[in-house]
Amino acid sequence: MSDKTVSQSPNLSRRALLKAGLATGVAAGAVGAARADGDPLITEIQDWNRYLGEGVQSRPYGTPSEFEAHVVRRDVEWLTASTESSVNFTPLHELDGIITPNGLCFERHHGGIAEINPADHRLMINGLVDTPLVFTMEDLKRFPRENRVYFLECAANSGMEWRGSQLNGCQYTHGMIHSVMYTGVPLKLILEEAGIKTNAKWIMPEGADASAMTRSIPMEKALDDCLVAFKMNGEALRPEQGYPLRLVVPGWEGNMWIKWLRRIEVGDEPWHQREETSKYTDLLESGKARRFTWVMDAKSVVTNPSPQAPVTHGKGPLVISGVAWSGNGRITRVDVSIDGGRNWKTARLDGPSLPKAMHRFYLDIDWDGSDLLLQSRAMDENGYFQPTKNELRAARGENSIYHNNGIQTWHVKADGTVENVEVS
């Protein structure tokens, strides 16, 4: 291989940046260095190039490379007292595209992971129905099924940040979210099979785990886009995510997505009068509360660079990347600021744009090595703009831990390290 080939920049010339309309005016440095002569990784044959590798079937269920061992869900010890009623976080800064790999989807359990043999699992429909029914997993798989991509965000995501910047990494500030393609049966078909009485207005799904979690969901939502799902990203749900069956409640807060789903009761009023004043509400400064805040409003975060993903390559071409989502539909635009919200540039959305699913954005800049105050703000198809944290506080005070969709700021320093900060 000649020096010339090696030193050619892979597509990232200033011309390429200009063509994409994203060059910032500073001359773009070439990516890739002309150091082929002295680099043993180029001049010497390496072991992996010399010896046969392991054959097929050495990894019957594949796992990531050993060099990716740091890409894992992580928890924050002081956040909860016991691991059975706890949460861990998706490593958003290590991912790309719009799909969360199954092994990296954050977990939130109130009574630990139920281990259920699908042959022993049942789903019962009772209450205000013509015929109470019990389904086996096999029964459910005889209904017409659909494939849909949705994000799931816990209402408490970013909750620790209400009062000021706290946790140093988007994994911890924004990692109570995953985005998965579900395969399942529309809940509507199952409810219709049992026959809903005319006075039926609510459903109460219940989990088979030790917490036997239940939630009240209005019938309108149940008949709209909810799924009873048994697959995620093509394979069976993971035990952590509710194997063998979970409820999918698109765009609505995570606690309603009952895992290990074993029963759905149909009724004429909500069951959770008490929860409605604690779980389903955001306490306002005035002492009043916002009720029935089920939808997760538009939100976004820059995942790279971020505190756990500093800039290690110095100035020059820099890919700023992140994710955006809205419980009200599609994301139509994401703006990125590098100066703490004074100026904004519209980022490039890339990959599928699906309603109530994660979206991926990029802004390709030429970093001059100076400090950045990186922010992103999302807009959804209803024209809703993600608010600043101070706008949210002005509207809701600081008593809540739920539904914090405020704009996140990362301070990128000249040495490439990144810190969670707030700008006023």
Residue in 179, 183, 241, 326 binding ligand MTE, rule: CB under 6 A: 241
- The SS3 of residue 241 is helix
Contact of 405 with 157, CB cutoff 8 Å: no
Contacting range for ligand MTE; rule: CB under 6 A; set: 72-80, 100-108, 143-151, 182-190: 100-108
Report the b/e string of 331-357 with b at 16+ CB within 10 A.
bbbbbbbbebeeeeeebbbeeeebbbb
Q: What is the 3-state secondary structure (H, E, C) of 323-349?
A: EEECCCCCEEEEEEECECCCCCEECEE
Q: What does DSSP say about strands 331-337 and 372-380: parallel, antiparallel, or unpaired?
A: antiparallel
Query: Could you list the residues that contact Co ion (CB under 5 A)?
Result: 108, 154, 254-255
Q: Is 179 near ligand MTE (CB under 6 A)?
A: no
Residue 207's binding partner out of Co ion, ligand MTE, none, with CB under 5 to 8 Å set by partner kind? ligand MTE
Per-position x/- string for 180-219, each x denoting binding to ligand MTE as judged by CB under 6 A, each - no binding: ---------------------------x-x-x-x------
Q: Which residue is nearest to ligand MTE (CB)?
A: 207
CA distance linking residue 280 with residue 276, whole number of Å:
5
Residue 226's binding partner out of Co ion, ligand MTE, none, with CB under 5 to 8 Å set by partner kind? none
CA angle (332, 337, 340) in 5-degree steps: 135
Q: In angstroms, what is the minimal distance from the CB of 276 to Co ion? A: 16
Report CA dihedral (238, 244, 245, 246) to the nearest 10 degrees: -20
Q: Is 105 near ligand MTE (CB under 6 A)?
A: yes
Q: In angstroms, what is the minimal distance from the CB of 215 to Co ion? A: 11
Residue 257's binding partner out of Co ion, ligand MTE, none, with CB under 5 to 8 Å set by partner kind? ligand MTE
Residue whose tokens read 């990144």: 418
Question: With respect to ligand MTE, which residue has the nearer C-beta, 154 or 418?
Answer: 154
Residue 209's binding partner out of Co ion, ligand MTE, none, with CB under 5 to 8 Å set by partner kind? ligand MTE
Q: Is 258 near ligand MTE (CB under 6 A)?
A: yes
Residue in 250, 254, 317, 327 binding ligand MTE, rule: CB under 6 A: 254
Residue 241's binding partner out of ligand MTE, Co ion, none, with CB under 5 to 8 Å set by partner kind? ligand MTE
Helix (H) or strand (E) holding 5: helix 3-7
List the beta bridge partners of residue 331: 380
Q: Which residue is nearest to Co ion (CB)?
A: 154
Taking Cα atoms as reference points, which of 341, 375, 384, 85 lies closest to residue 209?
Answer: 85
Q: In angstroms, what is the minimal distance from the CB of 58 to Co ion? A: 38
Residue 260's binding partner out of Co ion, ligand MTE, none, with CB under 5 to 8 Å set by partner kind? ligand MTE
Residue 213's binding partner out of Co ion, ligand MTE, none, with CB under 5 to 8 Å set by partner kind? ligand MTE
Q: Give, as one character, the DSSP assignment of residue 162.
A: T
Contact of 332 with 125, CB cutoff 8 Å: no
Question: With respect to Co ion, which residue has the nearer C-beta, 280 or 362?
Answer: 280
Q: In angstroms, what is the minimal distance from the CB of 105 to ligand MTE? A: 6
Q: Is 175 near ligand MTE (CB under 6 A)?
A: no
Q: Is 154 near ligand MTE (CB under 6 A)?
A: yes
| Amino acid identity at 394 | A
Q: Which whole-number Å values give the CA distances from 362 to 22, 113, 313, in the listed order?
A: 10, 36, 18
CA distance linking residue 231 with residue 58, whole number of Å:
26
Task: Tell me, by CB under 6 A, how many residues bind ligand MTE.
Answer: 21
Q: In angstroms, what is the minimal distance from the CB of 111 to ligand MTE? A: 6
Question: With respect to ligand MTE, which residue has the nearer C-beta, 254 or 322?
Answer: 254
Q: Which whole-number Å values give the CA distances from 242 to 229, 247, 392, in the listed order?
A: 9, 9, 33
246 Cβ contact partners less than 8 Å away, ≥ 6 residues apart: 228, 229, 237, 257, 258, 259, 260, 261
Question: With respect to Co ion, which residue has the nearer C-beta, 108 or 221?
Answer: 108
Residue in 113, 152, 336, 374 binding ligand MTE, rule: CB under 6 A: 152
Binding site for ligand MTE (CB under 6 A): 105-110, 152, 154, 178, 207, 209, 211, 213, 240-241, 254-255, 257-260
